[in-house]
Amino acid sequence: MEYRKFPIEFVERTKHLLECYDGDFEVTNLINCLLGLIILPFEFASSKHTRDFWNNMSLEEVKKRTKYELLTGSEDSIENAHDLVRLIRNAFAHASVRTTSIKGEIESVIILGRASRRSQRRLEIRLSIQGLKELALMIADYYLSQRS
């Protein structure tokens, strides 16, 4: 099926995958969907527009829904949603990610990186698999509410 209104349809389809996937590779599917939601739709916008978009997303709401745990660094190093999403994007793009497992099942993902380009302070954030899914769905819903 072709895209008629890319990236809106991409986001809608990705959201459907997140909500309906019931296979053996849940975490792989989740990470692929999250990366697609962070990267593809926003490459169509200017960098200023992208920053404005993320900064209009509530960091407090992201924290509340994802329940991420800061393992290393300072909470005030993450000033806005743009910083957090950039940290997650860069961690996956540069293979700065670890997983934790219980009885052979991936329980969480640990994101390693810097809060901002100008910061030298290192951060480690743990997101449960449910927290990653909440983040992906939140991004999809927010994007669709701004673009539809």
Please spell the DSSP secondary structure of 26-66, one letter per residue.
HHHHHHHHHHHHHHTGGGGS-HHHHHHHHHHS-HHHHHHHH
Q: 29-50: per-residue pLDDT in tens?
A: 999 999 999 887 666 655 666 6
Q: Tell me the pLDDT of the chain averaged across its residues.
A: 86
Order of all β-strands in the sheet with 97-102: 69-72, 122-128, 105-114, 97-102
What pLDDT is recorded for position 49? 64
Mean of pLDDT values over 18-29: 94
Q: What is the pTM of this model?
A: 0.86
Lookup: tokens for 109? 């993902």
Q: 39-95: per-residue pLDDT in tens?
A: 876 666 556 666 677 777 888 888 888 888 999 988 888 888 888 888 888 898 889
